[in-house]
Each structure stands twice: as C-alpha cells, then as structure tokens.
Structure 1
C-alpha cells in the first residue's frame, strides 16, 4: 500500500472554476439541479449556497 499518494491526485477531485453571488431566488435551486443533470458528462458540477442575504452559485470541474 502506498501512503505517499497526494490527495489532489486522486480520481474524483473537484476543482472550483468560478462562483458568483446573486440575489436570493427561491427557484435558483431548480436551475442548479437542471445544470447538474444535463452537464455531468462534461465533468461539470454546480453548487448553490446561501450566505447572509445572497446566494452563491459555484461551478466545479470534476475529474
């Protein structure tokens, strides 16, 4: 067993590409769900978080 594997070299690595703060929109989660379902073959994943009075949408590349 090799204990010298760099965690960033593991399959399944997720890298943040971009993020954007937007006004709160109760239906934005539907857009994120739609993007995740339709763009996963392009190794993209989308996330949505609420911070204070804004929402943050993030785009990740998945290896």
Structure 2
C-alpha cells in the first residue's frame, strides 16, 4: 500500500527558537484529521524557516 502525501500550503516565516513547539502541537492535535506539519530552515537564509502543511 502506497502512502500519498499532498502539500497543501508552504509559507516562509521568520525563524524563532520556539517555532518547533507550534509545529509539534499541531502535529499532535491534528494527526487524526490526516494533517501533518513540517518545519525546515531555508538553505540560503538561516533566519527564515519554511513551514509546510501536508495531507496524509
């Protein structure tokens, strides 16, 4: 069985030390609605984080 992950939205935001807490809370709260949230640093600008919402 193949899992399909669909990107719903991607936004670039100012990086913050506590940003991962928001992503963790969203993932724990909304996983039963087949939503997943990701956070990554921009490779070219470490002051920018890339926040992505996925449907699983």
- TM class by shorter-chain length? 0.7 to 0.9
Count of residue pairs the alignment pairs up: 53
Q: Which has the larger radius of gyration?
A: 1
User: TM-score, normalization: structure 2?
Assistant: 0.88
Alignment match, 2:20: 29
Structure 1 unmatched runs, 5+:
1-8
Alignment match, 1:61: 55
User: TM-score, normalization: structure 1?
Assistant: 0.79
- 1:13 Cα deviation after fit: 1.2
Structure 2 unmatched runs, 5+:
none
Alignment of 1:19 with 2:10, yes or no, is yes
- 1:60 Cα deviation after fit: 0.1
